[in-house]
Each structure stands twice: as C-alpha cells, then as structure tokens.
Chains A and B, each alone.
Chain A
Amino acid sequence: MEIEENFLYTKEHEWVSIEDNIATMGITDYAQEALGDVTYVELPEEESEVEQFEQFVSVESVKAASDIYAPMGGKVVDVNRKLEETPALINKDCYGKGWIAKIDVRDMDESTNLMSAEEYRNYLDSLH
C-alpha cells in the first residue's frame, strides 16, 4: 500500500497536496485498489464552490461507484480532463497523473482536520 510522505489524507481515502494556496487532490492507493479498474470519473464543474468533506466527485468501477469528498473547502479551479479519456490513470498513478481536481483553498486552517502520512498509515492498519 503506497502512501506519499508529504501529502495529507482524509478518512475517506483522499489525498491532498497544498502549494501556493492551491490544493491538488486525488484518491489513495488503498481506494483505487478497493475500487478496481476505474471506468468513469464524474468531475466537478470548474468554478464551483465546495465545502471541506462535501461530496463533489464520483468515481465508478465495474463493481462499485464511490463518492469522493473535498479534502479542503474552496473553489474548484482545475479538473483533470485527461481522466475523461483515460480513467485508468487513477489506477496506474493515483498520486501523480491520476490527480482529480485543484481547489483554491478558502481557509488554510481546515488542514488541521486532515491526517499526516503517518496518521493515515496508522489509520489503514486499524481498518484491518
């Protein structure tokens, strides 16, 4: 189970990487493996506003459809259009090319509600 050391994580298995007030997010290796081959990603609308932990993306595989929640609140400023053509990027490179959306963060303090890589690792262990 891969985990990126510098990212932050949510209980719903999203990762987020914040730079210059922009939060780039996706789903973790644990999530993509549980889902299986991703067949479709329902991306949010650009310019839409989202709250922290609000559902704003949906990822489908043959066996499941998963709601994805915003790890930070703010305005969606970019979405990964490559996922429309190649949803498998989420399976192949979930922390890199499989990124899902970028959010212009409203309140940086919300990051205290997230887990560090170590905390997420412990959390994953507790699930088994």
Chain B
Amino acid sequence: MELIFEKSIAGRKGFDFGDPDVPSHAQIPSKYARSVDAALPEVSELDVVRHYTRLSQKNFSIDTHFYPLGSCTMKYNPKFTEALARLSGFTDLHPLLAQLSGGEQWTQGALQILYELEQWMCEMTGFSDFTMQPLAGAHGELTGIMLMAAYHKSKGNTKKKYVIIPDSAHGTNPASAAVAGYETISIPSNKDGGMDLEALKAAVNEETAGLMMTVPSTYGVFEGNISEISKIIHAVDGIMYYDGANLNAVLGRCRPGDVGFDVMHINTHKTFTTPHGGGGPGAGPVGVNQKLSKFLPISRVVKRSDGVYVLDYNYPESIGYIASFYGNFGLLVRAYAYMLMLGREGLMATTDHAVLNANYIMRKLEPYYKICFDRICMHESVFSASRQAERGVHAIDIAKFLIDQQIHPPTVYFPISVPEAIMIEPTETESKQTMDNFIDKMIEADKLSQTDPAAFREFPKTMPVTRPDEVKAARDIKTSFFLASSPTDAV
C-alpha cells in the first residue's frame, strides 16, 4: 500500500482554516524564518480517511481478534470508558489551570477523580499512598526505584549498590534499575518456578538496595515464599518492589502491601483495561507504604477538611517531578470508570475468571506442549515448544501459523530462561468458544509439526505481508520516507 506521501499532489489541501478576522501581514524576520516549507503530505480529507481506514484494517486488535499475549493482559476495552474519556469537560481542560492560585475551583472534577483513584488503588493493593504521575509501566518502575534511592539516601545507607531481580523478570526491570544508577544481580528460579531462596540468601548483603519482582512470577506461579523473601531483604534495610504487571491474577486474593512489598506500580493498560493504542500511551501509577510516602513525586492531590480537592506541592523530601503533570489523565478517567463499574465483586470476579481461563487452556494443551511447571497456574501459563522444535518447528513458527488462523500469537521467547517459550494469558473477558477454538488451532499446529514441519516456513501466508526481513531493516536503515537508505552513514 502506498504511503500517504506517495498520494500527495502539489497544492492539494485537506483543511480550510477560513479567512482571518484580524489583519494578516505579520512576518517572522527572515533570519528566524524557515527557508523551505515542511514536506508534509498534500492530500484531501477523503484521501486521509481512506488511507488510514484501510491501514487500520491491516491490524489485528482486541476488537477483532483473540490476543492471548502472556504478560500483557489484553482484556476487552469497554466502550463506555471511551465515551467518558472523550467528554469535553476532560479533553478541553488545560493542565496549568490547576496550578493557578485558586485553581482548584476550576478543576474539581478532575482532582476528585485523581483522589478517588488513589483511594481505590490503595485499598486494592494494601498500600498507604499512590501517585498517578508515571506515564507508563516502565516509567512507574523507574519512579519506584528512584523512591528506593531517595529512601536510602535519607537513611544514610551509602553502600547500597545492587538491586536483585529473578531471572524470569521482564526486561524493563533491570533496565529501570540501571537507569536509576543501580547494578542488578539475577537470581535463578527453582524447579517449582519460585525464587531459589538459597541463592537469594547468598546474594543479599549490606550492598543490597532492594529487590524487584512480580507475583505471580512471569512463569504464572504464585511465590509461596514471599514472606521469607521480604524478611531477607528487609533485614538489610532493602526495599521490596512489586512489578504490578500480573495484578490481574491477585485482585482480592492477595495484596502486595500485605505480604512485604514496600512499593509497586500498576499498569492501567493491563489490569484496568485502558487501551493499548498499538503500543501506548499507558499509565503506571505507583503505590507506597509509610516508609516511602514522603518521597513521592509532586504534586499530590489532597482533600481539605472542607471537602475541596487541591494540589499540594509542599513535600520537602519529594523526589520532584517525574513527568510534566499529574499523569495520563485521559487514560486514568477510563481506569476510574472501569473500577467504579466493577466494584468489589467485579474486581474479584476478574481474577477468578482470569485464573480459571488460564488453567483451562493449560490443562487442554498439556498433552501437546511441554508445560514448565506442573501445578495450578495463575492468570497465565508458560509452555516450551521444545518438542516441536526437535521437529524443526520453533515457537516463532507456531506464532506465524496462528496468525493465518486469525488469532494473535501468544508471547514467545519470554521469559528468556525457558527455551522456545510460549506464554498464554487469555484474560477473563474471553469466552469458552474463543478459547476452545484457540486450543484446537494449537493442537493442529502440533499435528502439523509432525506431518509437515517444512510448511511452517511459509506462514503466515494469508496476511497482506509475509515474514519481513528484519536483518535488512537493521542493516539498511530507512526510518523516514525522506531518507535514502544506506548502511555507511551510521556512526
């Protein structure tokens, strides 16, 4: 399909600004002025609508396809949350209004939402305070680690150098720790999918700043030794960080704040169904207990004794601003509406059915694919396509097969410690029919791997494109229509 630039015709316009109602002869002095106009597209509105409508039709999406991506929680995005997020009382609100003197009077609706979200999230997770400021899960992680660093600084713990993470951790965990200036130590998992306690004890010492983990782990297994682990870390005044990516598995069943965690982040685009948007925007609210609350970023939303919600910047030990404003408000409205609708029972049912669905798929696929841990899983299960790989069919090939079956593949090759990993998370919003169809297709893939493994190389063959040449993309870099591709210029 052509690029929008290839559809341009010189002089074509998509939008009419109307005639100016003020004198129109202001000029930018020539030394400050642009010499050549920006080569943006020159197309009609109809061209734009056709182009992007047709592009959209090339995507898989939750609205069109089953998306059992482990670790991503691709649950249905309810339409009413979209309608609410688009209300002009939210979309047209300038963020700086709240910072004017007396600004709370013009922004009460927004401030109330931020405040109530904090209350809900505290009760759901067992923490005393939350900030809505981080703009994505990874951003929340980084904020959490900065809070950890601020804590150690205030306590004079100058020797803290390392953050411990399990080998099953998501890549953002060590990356976030590194960005914050820590080195990471990786701890292996034991044969049950939990953390190897002996290895942990051996690695923990005065230089341990803290530990980052998710419960259940990325193996889909609940960490039974969580209290032990917290004790070990707290004994050296380390901070326990909870990666909330898997929160969908424990709502109403376990609260990270109750089992020894000091700080966590939530991925609203996972648990609270704010839309993935093709890769963002997201939101990563961060919760803390009393140990860390004074370091939270500012501003914070406070409810005065007269019931008015205000922004408070008076936290002398705060780490400061980690983003420009109060969080991705447009997404937080959706999360808020979702929580209100679900309520206590609805949130608990979410976890119940997410776990039920994942276990159902696991048991049905067990005869065909090697499971990693023979125990009840939580909201996701991890398989290894090692049997199929012996026949020459790898996890990626099974993924491409599924695309031709109009199913988005599960996560593959994560966690990295499992060879040929396939991680499946159906979520609670998928029906038994959808799951049965998926199971059938996975069984078909296994059969085909025995009868005709070579066939997989052609998959997918029903999509607008076949397997792209990723090596060429990295060697002959072309990231803009206006850039001639050539490998030699890169430094």
Contact = CB atoms under 8 A, between A and B. Distances in A.
Interface of A: 36-37, 39-40, 60-62, 84-85, 87-88
B252 to A, nearest CB: 39
Given A40-B475, A61-B474, A85-B487, 8 more contacts: A39-B471, A39-B475, A60-B474, A84-B487, A85-B488, A87-B475, A87-B487, A88-B475
A60 B487 CA distance: 13
B487 A62 contact: no
B488 A40 contact: no
B474 A62 contact: yes
Interface of B: 470-471, 474-475, 487-488, 490
Contacts of B474: 39-40, 60-62
Nearest to A62: B470
11 contacts: A37-B471, A39-B471, A39-B474, A40-B474, A40-B475, A61-B471, A61-B474, A62-B474, A84-B487, A87-B475, A88-B475
A72 B471 CA distance: 31
Nearest to A84: B488
Main DSSP-derived SS at the B contact region: helix
A87 B471 CA distance: 11
A90 to B, nearest CB: 12
B305 to A, nearest CB: 56
Contacts of B470: 62
A88 B487 CA distance: 12
Contacts of A84: 487-488
B170 to A, nearest CB: 17
B490 A62 contact: no
A61 B487 CA distance: 14
B488 A62 contact: no
Contacts of A40: 474-475, 487, 490
Nearest to A37: B471
A98 B474 CA distance: 19
> Among A37, A39, A40, which residue has the most Cβ atoms of chain B within 10 A?
A39
A85 B490 CA distance: 10
B187 to A, nearest CB: 21
Nearest to B489: A84
B421 to A, nearest CB: 14
A88 B471 CA distance: 10
A18 to B, nearest CB: 30
A84 to B, nearest CB: 6
A28 to B, nearest CB: 20
Contacts of A36: 471
Nearest to A88: B475
A117 to B, nearest CB: 29
Contacts of A88: 475
Nearest to B413: A63
